[in-house]
Amino acid sequence: MKYKSFGATGKQVSVIGQGTWYIDRGNRASAVAAVRNGLDLGMTHIDTAEMYDDAELVVAEATAGRRDEVFLVSKVLPSNASRKGTVQACERSLKRLKTDRLDCYLLHWRGSYPLEDTVAAFEQLVSDGKIRSWGVSNFDAGDLAEILDVAGEGRIACNQVLYHLNERAIEHSVIPWCEAHGVAVVAYSPFGHDDFPHAQSAGGKALQEIAMRHGATPRQVALAFLTRWPSVFAIPKASSSDHAADNAGAGSLTLTESDIAAIDKTFPLGREPRSLPML
Is residue 195 over pLDDT 90? Answer: no
For the chain, the distance separating the N- and C-terminal CA atoms, rounded to the nearest angstrom, is 28
pLDDT of residue 239: 85
As a whole number, mean pLDDT of residues 209-234 equals 98
pTM > 0.85: yes or no: yes
Asked if the model's pLDDT at residue 202 lies above 90, the reply is yes
Task: Give the chain's mean pLDDT.
Answer: 97
What's the confidence (pLDDT) of residue 205? 97
CATH code for the part of the protein at 3-266: 3.20.20.100
Q: What is the model's pLDDT at position 26?
A: 86
What mean pLDDT do residues 109-138 have?
Answer: 98
Question: Could you list the active site residues?
Answer: 52
Q: Is 164 annotated as a binding residue?
A: no
| pLDDT band at 236; cut points 50, 70, 90 | very high
Over range 251-276, report the average pLDDT: 96
Per-residue confidence band for 194, with pLDDT thresholds at 50, 70 and 90: confident
- Give the per-residue pLDDT at 193: 82
Alpha carbons 31 and 189: distance in angstroms, whole number: 17
